[in-house]
Structure 1
Amino acid sequence: MRPAKPKAEAPRLSVGFILANRFTLCAFANFVDVLRLAADEGDRSRPILCKWTVLSDTMDPVASSSGITVQPKERLGDPRRFNYIVVVGGLMDETPNLSPAYHRFLHEAVAAGIPLVGVCTGAFLLHQAGLLDGYRCCVSWFHHSDFMEQFEGLDPVADQIFVVDRDRLTCSGGASSAHLAAYLVDKHVGRAQANKSLHIMIIDDALQAEKPQPGIPLDLKTRDPIVQRALLIMQQNIDTPISVQEIARRMGNSKRQIERHFRLSLDTSPQVAFLNIRLDLARHLIERSQKSVAQVAVDCGFCDSSHLSRMFRRRYGATPQALRRPGSVEEEAALA
C-alpha cells in the first residue's frame, strides 16, 4: 500500500473581498499581494497559508477607478468561511452605496463575529451600512473633510496609516493597505512571512498603525471646515499654485468669505498660508530627498531656485543649500 499523502495545511488566514464600483486598484492590489507573497515559499503564489477571493452578489466584472476590471470568483454565500471581510472603496463621487445584498452579507458577518476591514474609502461604505457606529476609523487626510461633511458626529482619524478598533479595521488606502495586510499576516501566519511580503514588494519593514500618514507636511491645524477644504485644495495644487479667487470658485464660496475664515481660524491670509505650505514641503524635500534645489523649486510652485531661496531665507533664516551642509544653518543664521 502506498503511504497516505499528508493532509494539506489549512490556510491560517482567509479573506473575502468586496470591491465597490470604481474601487482603487492600487489599494486592492497591495493588500492582495501581501497575502499572496506570504501564502507560499518564495513568490510561487500558491494559496497555502493564506487564501483570498473576490465576492459578488451578481458576479458581474467590477471596474476600478483606472478602468481595469476585476472578475469576482465567488458569490457572497456564508461569511463564516472567512477570517475577515474586506471592503475596498474608490472614487468618492462615483462610488454608489453597496447593494442591499452586500449590506445583508456584512451584517451577517458581524452577527457571526467576523471582523470587517475598510480599505481606502471602504470606511465610508461600512458607515453607510451602519457598521461603524461607536468605532474609530481611519480615512485618508485627502478625504477627511468629505467624511466629516457626510457623517455628522463621527471623528475619523486622518493622521495614522491604519486603525484597529476591536473587530473593525480601516486604512487610508495606497501603501497603507499593504501595512494593514502585513499586520493581519503577522497576527495569523507569522512576522517572518509578513516581512517577506513587504521586502519582495520593495517596502520597508511593517509599519505600526500609529505611523503618521505619508504626505505633505501641514502644520496648520483648524476645525473650520471651509478652511480645511481650502487647505486641501492648496495641497492638491502645490506645483501650480492657484489664486484664492480660483479656490473660492471651486468651493462655491466668495473670496471674501475664504479670507474671513482664514483670519478667524488661523490669524493669517489664504495667500500666506499657501506660501507656508509650499515652503514647508520644500524644506521637507530638501531635508528628506536627494532632489536638486531647482527641482524642489519646480515641485513646490516657485519660479526658479533663486525665488525659492529668497522665500526660504525669509521664512527659515537660511538658504535651502545650507540645510544640506551639516552645521551651516547655524553659521548662516549667525552671519545674517
Structure 2
Amino acid sequence: MDARGADGRAGALSSSAYKPRKGGARLSVGFILARRFTLCAFANFVDVLRLAADEGDRSRPILCGWSVLSDTMCAIPSSSGVSIQPNERLGDPTKFDYIVVVGGVMEELSGLETAYAAYLRRAAEAGVPLIGICTGGFLLHKAGLMKGYRCCVSWFHHVDFLEQFDGLDPVSDQIFIDDGDRLTCSGGASSAHLAAYLVERHVGRAQASKSLHIMIIDDAMRPEKPQPGVSMDISTRDPMVMRALLLMQQNIDTPLSVAELARRMGHSKRQLERHFRSALGASPQAAFLQIRLTFARHLIETTDKLVAAVAVECGFCDSSHLSRMFRQRFDRTPQEIRRQAQQAASLPEARGGSRLSA
C-alpha cells in the first residue's frame, strides 16, 4: 500500500485503508526485538494488545494476535537483563498488519543483523507498515527504511539522533508519529498509547480504552500530545546548545557548572558560552536557572510537595533561596503561585462545568 499523496510526501493512512482480515485476529503484530531492547516499551505495547484481544482479562488472542520473531530462536536479552523467548522464525511478513522493531540501549545500536534487515525490506516492499519503538526508529533508519519519513525520538535521545543520523527528520515534541506506513514512538508509556491507537483503528475504541484503563492509564493520547518532561520554554536549533540543555534537564537536582557541562560534551567552556550567547542571547548559567525555576513552578502548581522539598529537587539551597529566585523571576513567592493555581483549579470551568441543579 502506498501512503504517499500526490506531492510525494508520506502521510497518515486513513482507517478505511485497513481492511479487516477474513477470519482470525482483526489486528496482527509481529515483533523484532533488538539485543538489549527496552522491556518497558515492549511490555506496554504487547499488554495493550493482550487486554484488547478478548473479553475480560483472559489473554486469549482472539481479536488481536502477536508474535516475537527471530532468525535463530535464541532468547533475546532486554536492557534490564530479562530475556524473551521468540515464538516463531522469520517467515512471510504479510501475515502481519504491522512489524514492530523495539530498540534499546543507544551504545549497542550497531544495526540489525542481515536477516532482519532483509525481512523488514520485504515487509516494506509488500506494503506492511513498519513501527519503530524507543530507538527502533534508529534501527529502521540504519536499514535504509526511513528515507522521507519523520521519526519520533525521545527528547533524551534527540541530540544523539542529530549526531548519528543524517537525512532523517527527528521529532521529539510528540509521543508518537503516524507517517503513513512508518509509525514511530519515543518508548515507555507512549508505546501503550501507540498500541491503543492501532487497536482503536482495527478493533474498536471500546477495546482500546478498556486496555488502557486496566493498565491504570488515562484515556488514549493522540499522536500530537507532547512528550512528558520538563518544559524549558527555550528553543534553539544549535546542536551543541540543545545537548547542553538536555544535560541540564537531566541534572536539575544537582546543577552542573559550565565547566563540567563543557567537559562532558567534549568542548571548552569558552566555546559552550559562545554558542549559548549566539543561540539564546544568554549565558549557560542563566538558561540553567530558567530550566530549574520552570520545573520548580511546575511542581509548586501541580503537587502538594513542601516548598523546601521542591527547592532540594530543583537544586536550590533551601526554601528561602527558592523564594528569592521566585520573586526575581515571577514577582511572586512559591506560596502565592500555589494559592493562585489552587484557586484556578477550584473554578467551575476547571472542573468541567458547574454542578447540575437538583
Q: Which TM-score bucket, shorter chain as reference? A: over 0.9
| SS of residue in 2 equivalent to 1:137 | strand
- 2:315 corresponds in structure 1 to 301
Q: Is the 8 A contact 1:160 1:211 kept in 2?
A: yes
- 1:332 corresponds in structure 2 to none
Flag the 1:200–1:327 CA change in 2: closer, same or farther, 3 A.
closer
Rounded to whole Å, the distance in 2 between the matches of 1:153 and 1:77 is: 31
Q: Is the 8 A contact 1:23 1:95 kept in 2?
A: no
| SS of residue in 1 equivalent to 2:60 | coil
- 2:19 corresponds in structure 1 to none
Pair 1:31-2:45 in alignment: yes
The percentage of counterpart residues that share the same residue type is: 72
Instruction: Pick the aligned partner of 2:158 from 120, 144, 148.
Output: 144
Pair 1:262-2:276 in alignment: yes
Q: Amino acid of the residue matched to residue 297 of structure 2?
A: R
Pair 1:243-2:257 in alignment: yes
Q: Is the 8 A contact 1:21 1:96 kept in 2?
A: no
| SS of residue in 1 equivalent to 2:31 | strand
Q: Amino acid of the residue matched to residue 264 of structure 1?
A: S
Instruction: Pick the aligned partner of 1:281 from 289, 292, 295.
Output: 295
Q: Is the 8 A contact 1:22 1:95 kept in 2?
A: no
| SS of residue in 2 equivalent to 1:17 | strand
Rounded to whole Å, the distance in 2 between the matches of 1:73 and 1:172 is: 25
Instruction: Report the more deviating stretch, 66-75 or 188-197.
Output: 66-75
Flag the 1:309–1:50 CA change in 2: closer, same or farther, 3 A.
same
Q: Amino acid of the residue matched to residue 101 of structure 2?
A: V
| SS of residue in 1 equivalent to 2:169 | coil
| SS of residue in 2 equivalent to 1:275 | helix
* Unaligned 5+ runs, structure 1: 1-7, 330-336
Instruction: Pick the aligned partner of 2:106 from 92, 102, 108.
Output: 92
Q: Is the 8 A contact 2:149 2:169 kept in 1?
A: no
> Offset of 1:328 from its aligned partner?
10
Q: Amino acid of the residue matched to residue 305 of structure 2?
A: K
Q: Is the 8 A contact 1:9 1:49 kept in 2?
A: no
Q: Amino acid of the residue matched to residue 59 of structure 1?
A: M
> Cα RMSD (Å) of the superposition?
1.5
Q: Amino acid of the residue matched to residue 260 of structure 1?
A: R
- 1:5 corresponds in structure 2 to none
Flag the 1:32–1:139 CA change in 2: closer, same or farther, 3 A.
same
> Offset of 1:220 from its aligned partner?
1.2
Q: Is the 8 A contact 2:69 2:90 kept in 1?
A: yes
Instruction: Report the more deviating stretch, 31-40 or 93-102.
Output: 93-102
| SS of residue in 2 equivalent to 1:52 | strand
Instruction: Pick the aligned partner of 2:328 from 314, 317, 322.
Output: 314
Instruction: Pick the aligned partner of 1:186 from 190, 200, 222.
Output: 200
Pair 1:131-2:151 in alignment: no
Q: Is the 8 A contact 1:11 1:48 kept in 2?
A: yes
Q: Is the 8 A contact 2:249 2:291 kept in 1?
A: yes
Rounded to whole Å, the distance in 2 between the matches of 1:165 and 1:129 is: 18
> Offset of 1:206 from its aligned partner?
0.3
- 1:108 corresponds in structure 2 to 122
Q: Amino acid of the residue matched to residue 314 of structure 2?
A: C
> Offset of 1:216 from its aligned partner?
0.7
Pair 1:176-2:190 in alignment: yes
> Offset of 1:290 from its aligned partner?
2.5
Q: Amino acid of the residue matched to residue 227 of structure 1?
A: V
> Offset of 1:9 from its aligned partner?
5.5
| SS of residue in 2 equivalent to 1:313 | helix
- 1:117 corresponds in structure 2 to 131
> Offset of 1:279 from its aligned partner?
0.4
Q: Give the TM-score taking structure 1 as reference length.
A: 0.93
> Offset of 1:313 from its aligned partner?
1.2
Instruction: Pick the aligned partner of 2:286 from 272, 288, 311.
Output: 272
Instruction: Report the more deviating stretch, 149-158 or 194-203.
Output: 149-158
Q: Amino acid of the residue matched to residue 261 of structure 2?
A: I
Instruction: Report the more deviating stretch, 222-231 or 301-310.
Output: 301-310
Instruction: Report the more deviating stretch, 113-122 or 283-292.
Output: 283-292
Q: Amino acid of the residue matched to residue 63 of structure 1?
A: P
Flag the 1:179–1:327 CA change in 2: closer, same or farther, 3 A.
closer
Rounded to whole Å, the distance in 1 between the matches of 2:56 and 2:312 is: 42
Rounded to whole Å, the distance in 1 between the matches of 2:131 and 2:169 is: 18
Query: What is the CA deviation profile of residues 255-276 of structure 1, one whole-angstrom value per residue up to 9, with x for unaligned ones?
Result: 1111111011101111111111
Rounded to whole Å, the distance in 1 between the matches of 2:210 and 2:246 is: 36
Rounded to whole Å, the distance in 2 between the matches of 1:176 and 1:184 is: 13
Q: Amino acid of the residue matched to residue 283 of structure 1?
A: R
Q: Give the TM-score taking structure 2 as reference length.
A: 0.88
Rounded to whole Å, the distance in 2 between the matches of 1:238 and 1:225 is: 20
Pair 1:156-2:166 in alignment: no
Query: What is the CA deviation profile of residues 140-197 of structure 1, one whole-angstrom value per residue up to 9, with x for unaligned ones?
Result: 1111111111122322111111000111000011111000000000000000000000
Instruction: Report the more deviating stretch, 205-214 or 291-300.
Output: 291-300
Structure 1 runs (4+) deviating above 6 angstroms are: none
Flag the 1:17–1:304 CA change in 2: closer, same or farther, 3 A.
same
Rounded to whole Å, the distance in 1 between the matches of 2:323 and 2:307 is: 9
> Offset of 1:327 from its aligned partner?
8.1
Rounded to whole Å, the distance in 2 between the matches of 1:157 and 1:315 is: 30
